[in-house]
Structure 1
């Protein structure tokens, strides 16, 4: 079966740089995981009014309530079979701030019905959003979020625009540096910029192993609704 990103992008997947295609091919069939290590040149957030919102999300590894420059960074893309029997891929990002590490966790699955990726956020996956991926015409990719939902027990509701964030991710491969360059920006439709980061990382590929997801990467709760 094709990798998650290829299923979501269709023919557009072929327009990516070969290193981007490999980066987005981590999966069960390839038996390949990606570990990226690098530096975020800048991590930022909006004004004071967003800090309580960011702190609340940070309690479940969703948002970053810190700012800084030249922050060491790691990302782990590990494929696994989730509790619903679907192929999933971790996006566990760790930012080593001077006062201690902060994580931003997510896991992605593919929705055949909507033809996009679904991104489950945080340690408990109570928030989920659709992700739409397209090639940028220069070998890189643009990922845009949509349809943020809150799922808790029987509750399944759209998050109001007043508190929701829209994410735009730009990622490309830099052949001169042999690194991936990434820029993430999350904004609120009413209040403007919430947080973001930009920097680069080098990728190392390892066998995924096909076993259970390591405990340090495993969400505490897994959501099956897409």
Structure 2
């Protein structure tokens, strides 16, 4: 793999990322993987009436019906390519909740200058994102969300589609990467979120845990 979906999507703007974020979002060398470990300050939603819907997506390793603080987690990134030959990254985030470990899985690819994230095992949700570099950090803002049912792709109309915003920046004061994701729905408000810090590096070989 000679490039990454983020470098393709951002183009020249990629050079505006903080040096430590360049290492995170750039291509992973062949035979290696990225691995990070940290703590999320908060994960999930306190709005328990949403939990039944989240439980369905939890079975596919997308989101989880929880509201917990101080959640240890790891992230593993593996380089890959799509069926069309475009660069992609397979990511696994393991959350260590009070009730046990749960894994969120997704594949990040690129379509032109758009980031495409497909979530779940099996795949259940796909989202398209505009990518921008802001003050040395990366901000992804969703432009479309669709559910995947078998081979069918069911797009959500924009007025009822959740707005997903991912922010990644490097905090030099604590020498760690800060990440936050929010999902908001028009009128309803915040559906889901997580935010925290972690340290990350490139390792050789395959990680088994």
Tell whether the structures are fold-level matches, with TM greater than 0.5.
yes
1:147 Cα deviation (Å)? 1.1
User: 2:195 matched to 1:194?
Assistant: no
What corresponds to 1:66 in structure 2? 66
1:161 Cα deviation (Å)? 5.4
What corresponds to 1:7 in structure 2? 8
- Provide TM-score, normalisation by structure 1: 0.83
Q: Write the deviation string for residues 101-156 of structure 1: whole angstroms up to 9, x where unpaired.
A: 122211011112xx2111011111132111221111x2111111221122334522
Note the residue ranges of structure 1 that are not aligned, 5 or more in a row: 218-226
- Provide TM-score, normalisation by structure 2: 0.89
Q: Is the Cα contact below 8 Å between 1:79 and 1:90 reproduced in 2?
A: yes
- CA 1:165/1:104 → structure 2, altered by over 3 Å: closer, same or farther? farther
Q: Write the deviation string for residues 145-175 of structure 1: whole angstroms up to 9, x where unpaired.
A: 2211223345222124576422111111122
Q: Is the Cα contact below 8 Å between 2:133 and 2:139 reproduced in 1?
A: yes
1:207 Cα deviation (Å)? 3.0
Q: Is the Cα contact below 8 Å between 2:46 and 2:66 reproduced in 1?
A: no
Q: Is the Cα contact below 8 Å between 2:128 and 2:145 reproduced in 1?
A: yes
What corresponds to 2:128 in structure 1? 130
Q: How many Å separate the matches in 1 of 2:159 and 2:62?
A: 18
> SS at 1:62's partner residue?
coil
What corresponds to 1:80 in structure 2? 80
User: 2:33 matched to 1:33?
Assistant: yes
When structure 1 is superposed on structure 2, of 88-97 and 160-169 the one drifting more is 160-169
Give the length in aligned residue pairs. Answer: 207
What corresponds to 2:42 in structure 1? 42
Higher percent of residues as strand: 2
Note the residue ranges of structure 2 that are not aligned, 5 or more in a row: none
Q: How many Å separate the matches in 1 of 2:33 and 2:16?
A: 22
> SS at 1:9's partner residue?
helix
User: 2:99 matched to 1:102?
Assistant: no
User: 2:180 matched to 1:180?
Assistant: no
1:82 Cα deviation (Å)? 4.2
- CA 1:45/1:80 → structure 2, altered by over 3 Å: closer, same or farther? same
Q: Which runs of 4+ in 1 moved over 6 A?
A: none
What corresponds to 1:24 in structure 2? 25
Residue 116 of structure 1, aligned match among 114, 117, 121: 114
Q: How many Å separate the matches in 2 of 1:57 and 1:26?
A: 29
What corresponds to 1:224 in structure 2? none
> SS at 1:109's partner residue?
strand
Q: How many Å separate the matches in 1 of 2:37 and 2:98?
A: 17
> SS at 1:125's partner residue?
coil
RMSD across aligned C-alpha pairs, in angstroms? 2.2
